[in-house]
């Protein structure tokens, strides 16, 4: 088993691509895994906390003024600016506007520290943004939900954010507690990286369960959403990377950029009316592609810059 995890750590980017392919070509497997997604995400958070440890996290939080500023830029200033542009263009009532504003208001993807690892970057800054962003989302989402009441039940969205924060807090506390009594060797750290890669692969297979039916039923709609999500995800990563290099320590630029493009949009779906959820499910399915292809497609950009 250890050899398998080390192999996954070495070939994590290819493993994620294999997971995307499996999710599209094995719909029955994807459907079976769908009910386990919440458990797998919790396991991933636990492993991430165990790998990073409390010492690095507290050190980062003590120096976290830049992280707080980045959270406010990504989850508050950016969606409000985009909302103003969409309002001037008369596009606020479109499904595309709704999807974009939900994405920009969402906190970091729970797997963003692991995507940082797969790109050879420090996972701790992404982990920090994940925790801070999720803790602050009930406040940062207030202006967006107030200005766009058609987004749904604000109370349900806040409750969903608080539930997610509670899950993160429990998983992180367990990981930190174990790390206080166990200091892993470099070989064990590599095996943990492989275990986290395996969890990401299984998660992406389950997340792709809704995409194949949409591709078969509405291929042109799916193509349009794919073009949009790739442009927004990678565009945000590039812009945030160059911005973060100016306002944050150098080692934080890559994880901050990954967080900017990869958000936990599913958090808000529980609060939306059923009529608005349907088109967003296709958006969410397409959004998995740039997320899990980030370690493969953005590797050369980050390495070159």
With a cut of 60, say whether residue 270 has pLDDT above it: no
With a cut of 80, say whether residue 60 has pLDDT above it: no
What phi, psi does 67 have (nearest 5°)?
A: -70, -45
Non-local (6+) Cβ contacts of 246 within 8 A are none
With a cut of 70, say whether residue 273 has pLDDT above it: no
How buried is 227 (Cβ within 10 angstroms: 0-12 exposed, 13-18 middle, 19+ buried)? exposed
Cα–Cα distances in Å, from 60 out to 14, 74, 75, 208?
30, 19, 20, 34
Q: What is the DSSP letter of 263?
A: B
Cα–Cα distances in Å, from 77 out to 82, 83, 125, 143, 305?
9, 10, 20, 10, 26
pTM above 0.75, yes or no: yes
291, containing H or E segment: helix 274-297
Cα(172)–Cα(162) distance, rounded to whole angstroms?
A: 15
Non-local (6+) Cβ contacts of 45 within 8 A are 110, 167, 168, 171, 172, 175
Paired tokens of 26? 């094995």
Residue in the block written with tokens 């100016």? 246
With a cut of 90, say whether residue 301 has pLDDT above it: yes
Non-local (6+) Cβ contacts of 44 within 8 A are 110, 111, 114, 196, 199, 200, 203
What pLDDT, on the 0 to 100 scale, is given for residue 150?
62
- The residues facing 263 across adjacent strands are 108
With a cut of 80, say whether residue 277 has pLDDT above it: no
What pLDDT, on the 0 to 100 scale, is given for residue 77?
95
Architecture of domain 2-304: Up-down Bundle (1.20)
188 pLDDT band (50/70/90 cuts)?
A: confident
Cα(301)–Cα(147) distance, rounded to whole angstroms?
A: 37
What pLDDT, on the 0 to 100 scale, is given for residue 162?
73
pLDDT average, residue stretch 164-179 = 83
- Give the least confident one: 4-13, 64-73, 207-216: 207-216
Q: Do residues 226 and 293 touch, judged by C-beta distance below 8 A? A: no
**Would you tell me how many other CB atoms lie within 10 Å of the CB of residue 156?**
13
CA angle 293-299-301, nearest 5°? 115
What are the tens digits of pLDDT across the range 116-151?
988 989 888 998 898 888 878 878 887 887 777 666
What pLDDT, on the 0 to 100 scale, is given for residue 159?
72
What pLDDT, on the 0 to 100 scale, is given for residue 82?
94
What pLDDT, on the 0 to 100 scale, is given for residue 161?
67
- The residue among 167, 111, 103, 113 whose CA lies nearest residue 135 is 167
- The residues facing 108 across adjacent strands are 263
Domain range annotation of the chain: 2-304
What pLDDT, on the 0 to 100 scale, is given for residue 104?
94
What pLDDT, on the 0 to 100 scale, is given for residue 253?
92
pLDDT average, residue stretch 27-50 = 79
Non-local (6+) Cβ contacts of 276 within 8 A are 95, 98, 150, 152
Cα(59)–Cα(54) distance, rounded to whole angstroms?
A: 8
């Amino acid at each position: 088993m250890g050899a398998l995890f080390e192999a996954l750590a070495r070939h994590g980017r290819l493993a994620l691509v294999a997971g995307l392919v499996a999710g599209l070509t094995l719909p029955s497997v994807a459907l079976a895994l769908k009910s386990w997604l919440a458990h797998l995400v919790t396991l991933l958070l636990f492993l991430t906390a165990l790998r990073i440890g409390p010492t690095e996290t507290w050190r980062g939080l003590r120096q976290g003024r830049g992280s707080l500023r980045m959270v406010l830029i990504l989850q508050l200033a950016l969606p409000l600016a985009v909302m103003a542009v969409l309002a001037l263009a008369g596009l606020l009532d479109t499904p595309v506007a709704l999807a974009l504003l939900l994405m920009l208001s969402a906190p970091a993807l729970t797997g963003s520290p692991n995507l940082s690892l797969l790109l050879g970057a420090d996972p701790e800054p992404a982990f920090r943004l994940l925790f801070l962003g999720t803790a602050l989302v009930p406040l940062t989402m207030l202006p967006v939900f107030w200005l766009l009441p058609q987004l749904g039940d604000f109370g349900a969205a806040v409750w969903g954010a608080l539930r997610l924060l509670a899950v993160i807090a429990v998983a992180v506390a367990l990981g930190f507690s174990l790390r206080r009594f166990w200091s892993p060797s470099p070989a064990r750290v590599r095996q943990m990286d492989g275990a986290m890669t395996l969890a990401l692969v299984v998660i992406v297979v389950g997340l792709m369960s809704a995409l194949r039916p949409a591709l078969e039923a509405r291929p042109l709609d799916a193509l349009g959403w794919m073009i949009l999500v790739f442009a927004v995800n990678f565009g945000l990563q590039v812009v945030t990377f160059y911005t973060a290099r100016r306002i944050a320590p150098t080692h934080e630029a890559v994880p901050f950029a990954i967080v900017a493009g990869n958000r936990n949009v599913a958090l808000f779906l529980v609060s939306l009316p059923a009529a608005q959820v349907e088109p967003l499910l296709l958006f969410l399915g397409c959004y998995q592609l740039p997320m899990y292809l980030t370690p493969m497609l953005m590797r050369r950009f980050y390495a070159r810059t």
